[in-house]
């Protein structure tokens, strides 16, 4: 019997089916955090302010199929956009696959469990506030760097089974 090569190792992002593409999302919620862009330099800064549609515990969109009805500027990741989005977190599966890297142990496609992204400490779970609760003028007060350093802080190996 031969081991089948996982699709993320055998296909480019552009070659993936819609269901394969969607399954690459690990559910960390980091891409759904509001970001600020410095006009002069173009530098992008993450905030701990989540999109109004993101559930702060599950880190999933509460209206994914209809998100553009409520958030017209929601960024849709596509194979063409991924290489251009330098702000994608270093643990993002779309970024990893685009760079020819493998997925981490906690990715649901590896672990078989959507909770491992939270167990590993790489998600936004419990670290955010809704944009509905923050005045736009105060967004700068919520700038954080942890979305870009989660790779350094994550649990390197799966927890031991009891």
pLDDT at res. 2: 56
Residue with tokens 């590896």: 110
**Cα 56 to Cα 51: distance, rounded to the nearest angstrom:** 9
* CA nearest to 128, candidates 56, 63, 44, 59: 56
pLDDT at res. 150: 82
pLDDT at res. 149: 87
pLDDT band at 162 (very low <50, low <70, confident <90, very high): low
- Across the chain, mean pLDDT equals 93
**Cα 35 to Cα 158: distance, rounded to the nearest angstrom:** 30
Residue-wise pLDDT for 32-75, tens only, equals: 999 999 999 999 999 999 999 999 999 999 999 999 999 999 99
Model's pTM, two decimal places? Answer: 0.89
What average pLDDT does the segment 13-42 reach?
Answer: 96
pLDDT of residue 138 exceeding 80:
yes
pLDDT of residue 86 exceeding 70:
yes
């Amino acid at each position: 019997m031969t081991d089948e090569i996982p699709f993320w190792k055998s296909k480019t992002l552009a070659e993936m089916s819609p269901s394969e593409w969607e399954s690459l999302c690990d559910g960390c919620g980091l891409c759904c955090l509001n970001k600020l862009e410095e006009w002069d330099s173009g530098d992008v800064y993450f905030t701990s302010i989540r999109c109004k549609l993101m559930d702060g515990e599950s880190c999933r969109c509460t209206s994914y199929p209809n998100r553009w009805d409520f958030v017209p500027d929601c960024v849709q990741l596509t194979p063409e956009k991924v290489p251009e989005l330098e702000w994608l977190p270093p643990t993002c599966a779309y970024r990893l696959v685009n760079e020819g890297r493998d997925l981490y142990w906690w990715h649901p496609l590896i672990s078989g469990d959507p909770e491992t992204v939270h167990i590993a400490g790489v998600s936004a779970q419990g670290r955010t506030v809704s944009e509905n609760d923050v005045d736009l003028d105060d967004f700068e007060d919520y700038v954080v760097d942890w979305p870009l350093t989660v790779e350094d802080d994550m649990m390197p190996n799966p927890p031991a089974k009891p």
